[in-house]
Structure 1
Amino acid sequence: MSSSTNHQKTGFAFFLIAFLFFLWGFAHNLDPILIPHLKRSFALTTTQSTLVDSSVFIAYFLMALPAGLAIKKWGYQNCIILGLLLFSVGCFLFIPAANLQSYSFFLVALFVIACGLTFLETSANPYASALGTPETSTQRLNLAQSFNGLATALAPVIGARVILTRSYSDTELSAMSESLRMQALASEASSVKLPYLILGMILLIIAIIFKLIKLPQINYKTSHHQKSQSIFHAFKHRHLTWAVVAQFFYVGAQVCIFSLFILYATQVASLPEIQAADYLGVCGIALLIGRFLGTFFMRFVAPNRLLTLYAGINVFLCLIAIMAHGLITVYAIVLICFFMSIMFPTIFALGIKNLGADTEYGSSLIIMSIVGGALLPRLFGYLSDVTGSIQVGYFVPLLSFIVIVIYGLYGYKSAPTKKDTGPTLVSFSH
């Protein structure tokens, strides 16, 4: 097979993988719409509403290691298909959850979706990183994550107009009789059925496409002395351990900011929900622009240095979100989203660098650290409920960005090894 033909097929494979980034980005960024929607429908506290995030990100912790083992046994492509199917099943579960008016059922549906996303992310992140030369792996992963940023911009705007349009104000609900109030809340809950039904059907079609095509395989060339022994062996890579910690705090910070943005904007800046959702879409646009610009800047600035700079700026912006009032706080959060843009892919790419045969385990460990998205928003919600101010919760992202500054300055460094020659693509034909 000629090198030009192989390059074209590699480019097509990268496009397909990048589209997966869009899909899970869209699913994740419907959650900030679900949180205020379910909070009102089930009369939840802020802390209780964060169970939406907990149910999603606990799945990452539980399923990431099985996903890594499955990739070793069945390969990247089969695990992508499995992830798409689980993702689809979770979407379909929204229909009985809405019919039964059960918050617990919604959480189960979100958990199943997240199990599918775990397989997708554990597969797609290292795969996108490996589709090219090792020297440009960080830029390549940032480019793929730009599709995730596009979904971050679109999902809140679309989701708000589909899910939040039937919402009733607290005044309207309090004026209703008990039976009418139950009917009104049931009507609100039913608004989630159509978008998740459509998304589930799209995912089934995409799973069939991935079954019909053939993606290039990836091998990691290592000497006979270096073998993937166990998950504990992977932890011997110091920079991987640091990446797990940094990703835990980054994802926790991101989920706090995005998932609780509408609650924050309506309370601190007095914005209506639909307008707050539009600003959340602006946050997604900022994230998207940041990823494209970050990919460009990394041609001239080392990824760890850019990561450190961006995290340091976000520490300052979090202080504004804590102490200021009005629209300036919303603008500060938009800027936080811009400077968060490169963090997940950069931490991930630096974390799996030079892992060789431990790459699948390393990928699983970093994906497991996404459990930060389950735990830190709970702390954010608790601080908000206890103090009566959602702004106080921003101390959680502030602390998280400080940890990322430390990672960018110190923790990213990997020990060079001659035994690792990086990932290689295997021919499309067998």
Structure 2
Amino acid sequence: MPRSNASTRTALIVINAVFLMWGLMTVLNDILIPHLKGLFTLNYFEVMLVQFTFFGAYFIMSVPCSALLARIGYRATIITGLLVTAVGAVLFLPAAAVSSYPLFLFAFFIMASGITALQVAANPYVSLLGEPRLASSRLNLAQMFNSVGTVLGPYIIGPLILSGATLGAAALASLPEAEQVAYRLSQARLVQGPYLVLTVVLVLLALAIWLFRLPPLAANDDDAAAGEHRFMDALRHPRVALGVVAIFVYVGAEVSIGSFLINFIARPEIGNISEAAAAHYVALYWGGAVVGRAVGWLLMKVLDPRTLLGVFALIAGLLVIGTMATHGNVAVWAVVSIGLFNSIMFPTIFTLGIDNMGPLTGRASGLMIMGIVGGALLPIAQGALADQIGIQHAFVIPLLCYVYILYYGFKGSRLA
């Protein structure tokens, strides 16, 4: 007897667990960066290849993942994404065992490729699974669980990976051979344990989705014509093309601010605290997204998501101006508070961009996910500008990003 499909509520619960897991996997990059920097004695450019490789995978793999979605549907693409992410996670075991930075980067790329498939399939799936009017509200709720993952990761797994002191190549070479072997083994275990557990959880989650049989979406899952459309067909819609740019600048702004947060707050004229103490504000920055998405989920039940997006972008822009123009605690809390107003931007831009796209939804979704490459490029641009005019004035780049998002909320998203 064939198994029946899960209810909509059960499907949303399971998918929310997927969002939480990929949020947790993504934020672990921030934990591994200082670990890898010390372990391999890397400079900042070399260690930032982690973020470049990870977010670059979104750009490279979003088109193949979108084509996969058109061919096999939402449920199968989500399962595939979870399994590919698990393969990337398990690759951290040999990378740690042989202490190979290129293998670590390869593992990051594979893991990000799986998460790209999840982004391409899960975001539109949540948007389409229910009443269209509440699509932005549902995706804000799902993204709230994603943000919960970004907060839990540093607290649960971060201390495990960073629990041991890392030795640079020179210091390691000065040790006797037996101690070098013991040290490499201990460092490998710090990474292998957490990522082995994560691999198992990802496989179990894929199995759960297969067993629960998520309900299909008639608009796209069974639409054979979906695979006949091209990406240019979706780009001909101004709302989609402008939405891709909005995703690019949003992710770029969010990642740029997060990347510079510790260095900025630790400055004598700003927070005048150690970098270790400043790191606690990172959790507040990302934690603000949890609160903001919970509030956004409720507000979008009664307010126009376009207007709310524009208002949040306006406030975020004003907070960036405060970050650039003030010092001391005012500047500290201005930059940290931006996370609260970043909260609704990704899910709202995404749902507005794919709204009423019919069989083009998968193509539009893939294009939106391509925009995440902004997280690889804009932080580099802000870093180059900071070298020229200083870290505080370099926040002009996120400011320009929020100006564009304000335009998209009030005007661009209303274009057909």
Distance 2:42 2:295 in 1: 39
Cα distance per residue 1:146-197 (max 9 Å; x no partner): 10121122122224312223235xxx97995742499598455652222112
1:375 maps to 377
Asked whether the equivalents of residues 32 and 260 of structure 1 are also in contact (C-alpha less than 8 Å), the reply is: no
Aligned with 1:219: secondary structure?
A: coil
2:392 maps to 391
Is 1:194 the counterpart of 2:189? The answer is no
| Greater Cα shift, 364-373 or 202-211 | 202-211
Structural mapping, 1:14-413, within 5 Å: 14-167=12-165, 176=171, 178-180=173-175, 183=180, 186=184, 190-220=189-219, 229-267=229-267, 269-272=271-274, 274-384=276-386, 386-387=387-388, 389-413=390-414
Q: How many residues align?
A: 406
Asked whether the equivalents of residues 311 and 401 of structure 1 are also in contact (C-alpha less than 8 Å), the reply is: yes
Asked whether the equivalents of residues 71 and 227 of structure 2 are also in contact (C-alpha less than 8 Å), the reply is: no
* Counterpart residue type for residue 230 of structure 2: S
Q: What TM-score comes out, normalization by structure 2 length? A: 0.88
Asked whether the equivalents of residues 161 and 274 of structure 1 are also in contact (C-alpha less than 8 Å), the reply is: no
Distance 2:411 2:45 in 1: 34
Aligned with 2:205: secondary structure?
A: helix
Distance 2:157 2:259 in 1: 13
Aligned with 2:165: secondary structure?
A: coil
Distance 1:176 1:138 in 2: 52
Aligned with 2:360: secondary structure?
A: helix
Distance 1:177 1:237 in 2: 57
Per-residue deviation, 1:133: 0.9
Per-residue deviation, 1:225: 11
Q: What TM-score comes out, normalization by structure 1 length? A: 0.86
Distance 1:376 1:310 in 2: 21
Distance 2:255 2:243 in 1: 18
Aligned with 1:218: secondary structure?
A: coil
* Counterpart residue type for residue 230 of structure 1: R
Cα distance per residue 1:255-297 (max 9 Å; x no partner): 2223443444445635445544432222232110100111212
Distance 2:255 2:132 in 1: 30
Counterparts in 2 of 1:157 and 1:362: CA distance versus 1, 3 Å: same
Asked whether the equivalents of residues 82 and 203 of structure 2 are also in contact (C-alpha less than 8 Å), the reply is: yes
Distance 2:385 2:198 in 1: 35
Asked whether the equivalents of residues 162 and 191 of structure 1 are also in contact (C-alpha less than 8 Å), the reply is: yes
Per-residue deviation, 1:336: 0.5
Aligned with 1:412: secondary structure?
A: helix
Counterparts in 2 of 1:173 and 1:389: CA distance versus 1, 3 Å: farther
Aligned with 1:29: secondary structure?
A: helix
Counterparts in 2 of 1:104 and 1:273: CA distance versus 1, 3 Å: farther
Asked whether the equivalents of residues 50 and 377 of structure 1 are also in contact (C-alpha less than 8 Å), the reply is: no
| Greater Cα shift, 311-320 or 257-266 | 257-266
Asked whether the equivalents of residues 324 and 392 of structure 2 are also in contact (C-alpha less than 8 Å), the reply is: yes
| Greater Cα shift, 395-404 or 119-128 | 395-404
Aligned with 2:257: secondary structure?
A: helix
Asked whether the equivalents of residues 36 and 263 of structure 1 are also in contact (C-alpha less than 8 Å), the reply is: no
Per-residue deviation, 1:12: 0.2
Counterparts in 2 of 1:180 and 1:273: CA distance versus 1, 3 Å: farther
Asked whether the equivalents of residues 253 and 400 of structure 1 are also in contact (C-alpha less than 8 Å), the reply is: yes
5+ unaligned residues in a row in structure 1: which ranges? 416-430
Distance 1:118 1:373 in 2: 13
Distance 2:145 2:319 in 1: 25
Counterparts in 2 of 1:326 and 1:111: CA distance versus 1, 3 Å: farther
* Counterpart residue type for residue 98 of structure 1: A
Counterparts in 2 of 1:160 and 1:331: CA distance versus 1, 3 Å: farther
Counterparts in 2 of 1:211 and 1:177: CA distance versus 1, 3 Å: closer
Per-residue deviation, 1:220: 1.8
* Counterpart residue type for residue 392 of structure 2: Q
| Greater Cα shift, 344-353 or 85-94 | 85-94
Aligned with 1:208: secondary structure?
A: helix
* Counterpart residue type for residue 148 of structure 2: L
| Greater Cα shift, 297-306 or 325-334 | 325-334
Distance 1:189 1:387 in 2: 39
Distance 2:148 2:225 in 1: 43
What fraction of aligned residue pairs are identical, expressed as a percent?
40
* Counterpart residue type for residue 111 of structure 1: F
| Greater Cα shift, 124-133 or 192-201 | 192-201
Counterparts in 2 of 1:306 and 1:351: CA distance versus 1, 3 Å: same
* Counterpart residue type for residue 193 of structure 2: L
Per-residue deviation, 1:48: 3.1
| Greater Cα shift, 68-77 or 340-349 | 68-77
Asked whether the equivalents of residues 35 and 259 of structure 1 are also in contact (C-alpha less than 8 Å), the reply is: no
Distance 1:47 1:212 in 2: 44
* Counterpart residue type for residue 414 of structure 2: K
Distance 1:43 1:391 in 2: 28
* Counterpart residue type for residue 278 of structure 1: H
Aligned with 2:366: secondary structure?
A: helix
Distance 1:379 1:259 in 2: 12
